[in-house]
Amino acid sequence: MTKADVLLGLQWGDEGKGKIVDVLTPKYNIIARFQGGPNAGHTIEFDNKKFILHTIPSGIFNKNKINVIGNGVIIDPYVIKKEIDRLVEGGIEVGDNLLVSRKSHLILPTHRLLDAVYEKAKGDKKIGSTLKGIGPAYTDKISRNGIRVGDMEKTGFDSAYNTSRERHIKTLIMYEKDFNSLLIDGMPFPDYEKAWFEALEILRGLKRIDSEYFLNKALDKNRTVLAEGAQGTLLDIDFGSYPFVTSSNTITAGMCTGLGIAPARVGKVFGIFKAYCTRVGSGPFPTELFDDVGQRLRDIGNEYGSTTGRPRRCGWLDLPALKYAVMLSGVNELMMMKADVLNPFEELKIAVKYNINGKLTEEVPFDEVNINVQPVYKTFKGWQSALDPDGNYDNLPVELKDYISFIEDQLNIPVKIVSVGPDREQTIRR
Ligand code: GDP
Ligand code: IMO
Ligand code: MG
């Protein structure tokens, strides 16, 4: 039985999922996103060109591949229109190679406003949301008030839109009387709403499918599928550091519900992590560095958000968190990203345990948000040299290979790809 593989972020997102999905795409027929929405920002670089995708799967740059936006994804027509425009400007074909599930839900302009007022009301407890309307749109889905892509085909679409809009406005007024003046992507609400409706026509022009049937029939015919995760395990709605999380399941289980692929049909699970850690937005981060080492990681790694431009918080690799992520998703192959960022460092650290009030543990604690989690580090010698990607793993500096071997031994899973730069070509496979 042909099974669908999945690639997931094992940290707080931005591990480099877009780059690796693009690198792996030649081996697959279909690439499918299964959760999240425009909170994601997936960067792909090749031939001196750089693209950032938010909703569209990262397989779009390879000719003759099908890209599916699955039922678990939420779509903002305004954002996807801009994405398509940029791709087309860059000479990338977008047509029948992009299919959208009828069951994926829409992000409405008022979801964006709700996200903004909810976040503001949280004050210093704010989540650091990307403010793309993710929480409010998934809330409507779960509370059975959502509008789906397939509903655009029905006559009652306008009235469903107006009903949601009115309901959202009642809530908005409680938070912000003058909600009309709140800006969405630099536009006051009425202007944004107009642009949103214009963009809806582009979404209507995309091919809409029952993606669960499409994908399962494709697997029946031995066509290969790679599912592309968004965000990361530590932002998972159930297993992340709640409430500082996103609103979807970012683990392998999310692929099953977000595409309609049964657990028995899940094939390889690729787990992707940075050689260190970053987090954008609020919430616990045990290995965060507030000193100049953290700033060096940020500068050398260019750690600024792909979606919001915000500086990312930086710190050392966290093994207890990585073990947790591997456990939750049943990861069986690892990919280590951004090894090159560590090139100049004399000394590197990996957290191997946590010290919580004098007790050592390798488990991520329930109340991580309110307790003091002190990492216990193992120190490594840096390699302090450039990595010349001749594609040969054996030629990497011995200190880097020791660093990787240690991670493999701890997790008991092989590291199959080492990424040494943002470009497609800067990828070492084993
Ligand atoms: P994603 O959300 O997981 O797809 O990751 P992002 O695109 O948000 O962030 C990853 C960033 O790191 C992007 O700017 C990539 O171009 C860049 N990147 C990916 N792999 C590497 C690498 O191996 N080395 C370096 N220096 N940059 C990388
Ligand atoms: P990719 O797919 C990094 C973070 C936000 C915030 C929290 C909730 O590019 O890895 P939301 O907008 O979902 O309400 O934000 O989650 N976040 C991400 N951080 N990468 C992402 O996606 C993220 N998507 C959401 O910064 O802390
Ligand atoms: Mg990203």
106 lines ligand 1 (CB under 6 A): no
The mean pLDDT of 104-133, rounded to a whole number, is 97
280 lines ligand 2 (CB under 6 A): yes
User: 111 an active-site residue?
Assistant: no
Closest CA to 16 of 340, 254, 324, 347: 340
CA distance 12 to 129: 13
CA distance 164 to 147: 9
Asked whether the beta carbons of 342 and 317 are under 8 A apart, the reply is no
Q: Which residues, listed in sequence order, are joined to residue 317 by a DSSP beta bridge?
A: 350
Lowest model confidence (mean pLDDT) among 146-160, 299-313, 343-357: 299-313
CA distance 261 to 211: 10
CA of 232 to the centre of ligand 3 (A): 9
**Which run of H or E residues covers position 426?**
none
Asked whether residue 321 falls in the same domain as residue 363, the answer is yes
Nearest CA owner, ligand 2 atom 21:
231
Asked whether residue 93 falls in the same domain as residue 145, the answer is no
Tokens (6 digits) for 430: 């084993």
CA of 420 to the centre of ligand 3 (A): 17
The per-residue pLDDT for 388 is 77
pLDDT tier, 208 (very low <50, low <70, confident <90, very high otherwise) = very high
Closest CA to 69 of 116, 44, 36: 36
The separation between CA 173 and the C-alpha centre of its own chain, rounded to angstroms, equals: 32
Is-cis flag, bond preceding 38, omega within 30? Answer: no
305 lines ligand 1 (CB under 6 A): no
The separation between CA 59 and the C-alpha centre of its own chain, rounded to angstroms, equals: 15
The gap between the terminal CA atoms of the chain, to the nearest Å, is: 26
The per-residue pLDDT for 390 is 83
The mean pLDDT of 13-29, rounded to a whole number, is 98
DSSP-assigned states of every residue in 245-278? S-SS--SHHHHHHHHT--GGGEEEEEEEEESSEE
7 lines ligand 2 (CB under 6 A): no
User: 14 an active-site residue?
Assistant: yes
CA of 420 to the centre of ligand 2 (A): 24
CA of 390 to the centre of ligand 1 (A): 20
pLDDT at 350 over 80: yes
pLDDT tens-digit readout, 134-143? 999 999 999 9
Nearest CA owner, ligand 2 atom 11:
129
CA of 50 to the centre of ligand 3 (A): 13
CA distance 75 to 54: 9
Q: Which atom of ligand 2 is nearest to the CA of 135?
A: 14
The mean pLDDT of 9-28, rounded to a whole number, is 98
Asked whether residue 412 falls in the same domain as residue 293, the answer is yes
The separation between CA 350 and the C-alpha centre of its own chain, rounded to angstroms, equals: 23
Catalytic residue among 22, 42, 76, 423: 42
The per-residue pLDDT for 305 is 83
pLDDT tier, 383 (very low <50, low <70, confident <90, very high otherwise) = very high
Closest CA to 53 of 112, 98, 116: 98
Asked whether residue 152 falls in the same domain as residue 89, the answer is no
CA distance 289 to 186: 33
Could you tell me the CA-to-CA distances from 412 to 85, 163, 331, 408 in Å, in that order? Answer: 44, 52, 10, 5
Asked whether the beta carbons of 133 and 107 are under 8 A apart, the reply is yes
The mean pLDDT of 208-219, rounded to a whole number, is 98
Nearest CA owner, ligand 1 atom 10:
16
Query: What's the domain range around 191?
Result: 105-203
CA distance 276 to 93: 35
Asked whether residue 247 falls in the same domain as residue 213, the answer is yes
The per-residue pLDDT for 217 is 98
The number of the ligand nearest the C-alpha atom of 425 reads 1
Tokens (6 digits) for 416: 């199959």
Q: What is the DSSP letter of 40?
A: -
* Residues whose CB falls within 8 Å of the CB of residue 135, separated by 6 or more in sequence, listed in order: 114, 115, 118, 129, 247
The per-residue pLDDT for 347 is 98
Asked whether the beta carbons of 378 and 347 are under 8 A apart, the reply is no
CA of 13 to the centre of ligand 2 (A): 7
pLDDT tier, 391 (very low <50, low <70, confident <90, very high otherwise) = confident
Tokens (6 digits) for 360: 């050592």
Amino acid letter, 296: R
The per-residue pLDDT for 329 is 98
417 lines ligand 2 (CB under 6 A): no
pLDDT at 105 over 80: yes
Give the end of a domain, one of 203, 234, 261. Answer: 203
CA distance 45 to 423: 5
- Which among 15, 20, 23, 43 is the best mutation to test ligand 1's pocket, defined by most ligand atoms within 8 Å of the CB? 43
Asked whether residue 139 falls in the same domain as residue 164, the answer is yes
Asked whether residue 221 falls in the same domain as residue 306, the answer is no
pLDDT at 384 over 80: yes
- The CATH code of the domain that includes 131 is 1.10.300.10
- The CATH code of the domain that includes 229 is 3.40.440.10
233 lines ligand 2 (CB under 6 A): no
The mean pLDDT of the chain is 96
- The CATH code of the domain that includes 382 is 3.90.170.10
Give the end of a domain, one of 203, 222, 253. Answer: 203
Nearest CA owner, ligand 1 atom 27:
422
Asked whether the beta carbons of 76 and 203 are under 8 A apart, the reply is no
389 lines ligand 1 (CB under 6 A): no
Nearest CA owner, ligand 1 atom 26:
421
Asked whether residue 278 falls in the same domain as residue 417, the answer is yes
Q: How many domains does the chain have?
A: 3
The mean pLDDT of 96-115, rounded to a whole number, is 98
Tokens (6 digits) for 63: 């000719």
CA distance 213 to 241: 34
The per-residue pLDDT for 309 is 85
Catalytic residue among 5, 14, 22, 340: 14
Asked whether residue 32 falls in the same domain as residue 152, the answer is no
Asked whether residue 93 falls in the same domain as residue 30, the answer is yes
Give the end of a domain, one of 203, 223, 248. Answer: 203
Quick one: residue 338, left, alpha or beta (phi over 0 = left, psi -120 to 50 = alpha)? left
Token pair 């210093």 is found at 124
CA distance 307 to 169: 26
417 lines ligand 1 (CB under 6 A): no
Asked whether residue 302 falls in the same domain as residue 398, the answer is yes
41 lines ligand 1 (CB under 6 A): yes
274 lines ligand 1 (CB under 6 A): no
Asked whether residue 237 falls in the same domain as residue 150, the answer is no
* High-pLDDT (> 70) share of the chain, %: 100
308 or 147: which leads in pLDDT: 147
Amino acid letter, 226: L
**Which run of H or E residues covers position 105?**
strand 105-106
Is-cis flag, bond preceding 311, omega within 30? Answer: no
CA of 131 to the centre of ligand 1 (A): 22
